[in-house]
């Protein structure tokens, strides 16, 4: 059946300016890290993507190695883009990244000029695109000069294969250097994508200040701490959770008794606010105007719908913020 997007798709979404740029991003952006790969069901992820666009989500975030298998999320997204969203390409912000292992040998990882340029060429073919809107270096490379990695981003923007350059997982000191190099080259850094949530707050030490001073946007990933900041762990570790899987990103030893107590107290506050814990965790990030957008994931359309409801209550009282700090301390 042909897809016709909602005619009121921009009615309820909030859009925020990304640093000092001309770009605005939706308060919630959709990440395709999980649930869009070759092992997943097309009918399900097609429904998620349609719901996202119908709800005013214009930004879709990918990386070369998203899947599994690596690359399959871009391939699947490219297929749906052609079949459902081709007429709306100019309404979309599509991003990809390179920096983690993608192929064998010495040129398929980290941050060399060869890897970054080759990787984006592959990503464009998988997604059947002429360009991406944002291309990120996915992580700093301890062995490649930062100037080389940033010059590769600058080159790709000048080629027209990316409209903007971004960085991800960079600590504050390296981020500041990368931003300065890109500025010198004439391709300003648009945005930084760090891991940030109530349970992971390293960005507050210096990074957010660096981004604000430099006019660079911020788009946190893993805002729900791999599912910890949801109602899934209120009664312990469920058998089907990420923490129960030995190869997952969330390890069982991270779900301590102290952490479970915090989750339950935060959930009580969320209920008092008329929200789910996940909704409150998203709003807690959005309370900071330095945060341009928050990257959310979804395994089902109803999960995405639940996250979108966070936009109904974006305000915290000073007492609520103090209570959160006391719970997290």
Dihedral Cα 175, 181, 186, 188, nearest 10 deg: 0
Q: What is the rounded distance in angstroms from the CA atom of residue 198 to the CA atom of residue 234?
A: 16
Task: Tell me the residue length of the chain.
Answer: 329
CB atoms within 10 A of CB 186: 9
Per the omega criterion (within 30 degrees of 0), is the bond before 68 cis? yes
Whole-number pLDDT of residue 235 = 73
Q: What is the rounded distance in angstroms from the CA atom of residue 126 to the CA atom of residue 91?
A: 20
Residue 44 CA to its chain's centroid (Å) = 20
Whole-number pLDDT of residue 104 = 97
The class level of CATH for 15-228+285-316 reads alpha beta
Tell me the two tokens of residue 254: 């991270």
Tell me the two tokens of residue 51: 């719901």
CB atoms within 10 A of CB 193: 26
Q: In the chain, where are the structural domains located?
A: 15-228+285-316
Dihedral Cα 207, 211, 216, 220, nearest 10 deg: 30
How much is the pTM? 0.95
Tell me the two tokens of residue 103: 């192929």
Please state at what angle helix 301-308 crosses helix 277-286, rounded to 10 degrees: 50
Q: 317, 61 in Cβ contact below 8 A?
A: no
* CA neighbor of 158 nearest in space, from 187, 179, 131, 189: 187
Q: What is the rounded distance in angstroms from the CA atom of residue 286 to the CA atom of residue 284?
A: 6
Residue keyed to tokens 């975030």? 61
254-264, pLDDT tens digit by residue?
A: 788 999 999 99
124-178, pLDDT tens digit by residue?
A: 999 999 999 999 999 999 999 999 999 999 999 999 999 999 999 999 999 999 9
In the chain the first and final C-alpha atoms are separated, in Å, by: 52
Q: What is the rounded distance in angstroms from the CA atom of residue 193 to the CA atom of residue 163?
A: 17
Q: 297, 33 in Cβ contact below 8 A?
A: yes
DSSP-assigned beta bridge partners for residue 195: 221
Phi, psi for residue 165 in degrees, rounded to 5: -110, 145
Whole-number pLDDT of residue 240 = 58
Q: What is the rounded distance in angstroms from the CA atom of residue 47 to the CA atom of residue 299?
A: 10
Which residues of the chain fall short of a pLDDT of 70?
Answer: 1, 236-252
What H or E segment, with its residue span, contains residue 67?
none
């Amino acid at each position: 059946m042909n897809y016709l997007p909602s005619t009121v798709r921009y009615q309820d979404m909030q859009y925020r300016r990304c640093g000092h740029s001309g770009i605005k991003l939706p308060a919630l952006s959709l990440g395709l890290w999980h649930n869009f790969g070759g092992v997943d069901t097309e009918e399900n992820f097609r429904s998620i993507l349609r719901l996202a666009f119908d709800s005013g989500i214009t930004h879709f975030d990918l990386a070369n190695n998203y899947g599994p298998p690596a690359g399959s999320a871009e391939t699947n997204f490219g297929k749906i883009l052609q079949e459902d969203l081709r007429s709306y390409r100019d309404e979309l912000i599509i991003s990809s990244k390179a920096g983690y292992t993608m192929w064998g040998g010495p040129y398929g990882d980290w941050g060399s000029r060869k890897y970054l340029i080759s990787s984006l060429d592959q990503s464009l073919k998988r997604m059947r695109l002429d360009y991406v809107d944002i291309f990120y270096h996915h992580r700093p490379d301890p062995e490649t000069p930062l100037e080389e990695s940033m010059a590769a981003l600058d080159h790709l923007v000048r080629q027209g294969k990316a409209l903007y350059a971004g960085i991800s997982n960079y600590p504050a000191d390296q981020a500041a250097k990368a931003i300065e190099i890109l500025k010198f080259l004439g391709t300003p850094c648009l945005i930084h994508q760090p891991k940030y949530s109530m349970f992971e707050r390293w960005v507050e030490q210096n990074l957010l200040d660096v981004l604000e001073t430099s006019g660079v946007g911020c788009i946190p990933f893993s805002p729900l701490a791999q599912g910890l900041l949801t109602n899934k762990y209120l009664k312990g570790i469920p058998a089907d959770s990420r923490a129960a899987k030995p190869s997952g990103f969330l390890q069982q030893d991270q779900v301590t008794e102290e952490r479970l107590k915090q989750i339950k107290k935060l959930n009580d506050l969320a209920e008092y606010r008329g929200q789910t814990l996940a909704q409150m965790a998203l709003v807690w990030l959005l309370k900071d105007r330095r945060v341009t957008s928050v990257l959310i994931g979804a395994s089902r359309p109803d999960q995405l719908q639940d996250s979108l409801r966070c936009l109904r209550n974006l305000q915290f009282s000073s007492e609520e913020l103090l209570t959160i700090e006391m719970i997290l301390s």
